[in-house]
């Protein structure tokens, strides 16, 4: 028996593989390497290089590795990019999730964990935002993930699939042992600011909007350590194996920090200012997004280690 991790050569998928290894689980990674890297896949984990929408390859992997559960990370996740290439996002996220689920049904796989996003909420009426808040996606990224959630829910009802959908807030950080982290050219605040701080990037840090209706005018987010995200998936896997009901859960710490607060924290560590400039707001960025994390603590007994 093994767990298939789609997007296993990517940022979050690689941390999931490390967590599965530490738990003594057999895992296999599937990734097309369009964004991920072979170097992130832990030694001893088989890597299948393929598109997650390739149903023939999926059927072969399911059989060859005796896959009993799927943890689905593969997809496109950049909000600004989704506004420029919406059709690509609906293909990579929605259509490929549909194909993956069809392959699961054909192979008799009945446990599925889906990596979703707080972007499905768009600009919520209030924060913290709970799982009962309506879908109000303001970007193709959020829309594609909301559609994928609906497809999963409908497939689960029709085909007896047990699932956990985890809606992440802002994922940050890296493996504490240095075995995995973000790769490529990062777009997320903490990684960009850290690279500028240590001289990997020689540029000003762009603050996208300083006129939001927040205390200091910059956007507020709920940042969650990637290792805690992986732990949440392990807890979800345990719940499904023990016959627990399907659930959709936020993954966040329940409090937010503004862009300026993040920058000031890094400046305190390095003892000097980070060069920065105010840029226009980016389309698709809500003023603040903070999780109501009560449900995941109750349902999965999840307790963050890196809060």
Residues labelled as active-site residues: 141
- The number of helix segments (H) and strand segments (E) in the chain equals 10, 14
**Which distant-in-sequence residues (6+ apart) come within 8 Å of 60 by Cβ?**
none
Classify residue 270 by its DSSP letter. Answer: H
Give the total residue count for the chain.
307
Q: Please report the DSSP string for 222-235 in residue order.
A: -EEEHHHHHHHHHH
Q: Residue 123 is encoded by which pair of tokens?
A: 């600009």
Diameter over CA atoms, the chain: 58
* Residue 151, phi-psi category: left (phi > 0), alpha (psi -120 to 50), beta (remainder): alpha
**Which distant-in-sequence residues (6+ apart) come within 8 Å of 45 by Cβ?**
8, 17, 21, 27, 28, 29
Q: Specify whether the CB–CB gap between 283 and 217 falls below 8 A.
A: no
């Amino acid at each position: 028996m093994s767990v298939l991790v789609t997007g296993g050569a990517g940022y979050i998928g690689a941390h999931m593989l490390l967590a599965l290894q530490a738990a003594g689980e057999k895992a296999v990674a599937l990734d097309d390497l369009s964004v991920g890297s072979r170097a992130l896949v832990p030694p001893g984990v088989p890597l299948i290089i393929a598109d997650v929408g390739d149903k023939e390859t999926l059927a072969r992997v399911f059989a060859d590795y005796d896959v009993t559960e799927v943890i689905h990370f593969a997809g496109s996740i950049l909000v600004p990019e989704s506004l420029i290439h919406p059709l690509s996002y609906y293909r990579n996220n929605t259509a490929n999730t549909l194909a993956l689920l069809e392959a699961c049904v054909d192979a008799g796989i009945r446990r599925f964990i889906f990596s979703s996003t707080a972007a499905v909420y768009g600009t919520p009426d209030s924060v913290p935002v709970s799982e009962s808040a309506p879908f109000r996606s303001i970007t193709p990224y959020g829309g594609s993930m909301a559609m994928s959630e609906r497809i999963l829910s409908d497939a689960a009802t029709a085909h007896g699939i047990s699932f956990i959908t985890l809606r992440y807030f802002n994922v940050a950080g890296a493996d504490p042992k240095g075995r995995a982290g973000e790769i490529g050219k990062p777009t997320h605040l903490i990684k960009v600011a850290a690279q500028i701080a240590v001289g990997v990037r020689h540029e000003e840090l762009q603050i996208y909007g300083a006129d939001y209706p927040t205390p200091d005018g910059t956007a507020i987010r709920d940042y969650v350590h990637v290792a805690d995200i992986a732990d949440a998936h392990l807890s979800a896997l345990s719940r499904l194996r023990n016959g627990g009901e399907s659930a959709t859960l936020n993954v966040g710490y329940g409090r937010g920090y503004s862009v300026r607060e993040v920058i000031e924290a890094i400046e305190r560590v390095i003892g000097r200012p980070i060069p920065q400039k105010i840029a226009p707001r980016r389309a698709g960025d809500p003023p603040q997004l903070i999780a109501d994390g009560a449900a995941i603590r109750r349902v999965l007994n999840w307790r963050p280690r890196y809060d």
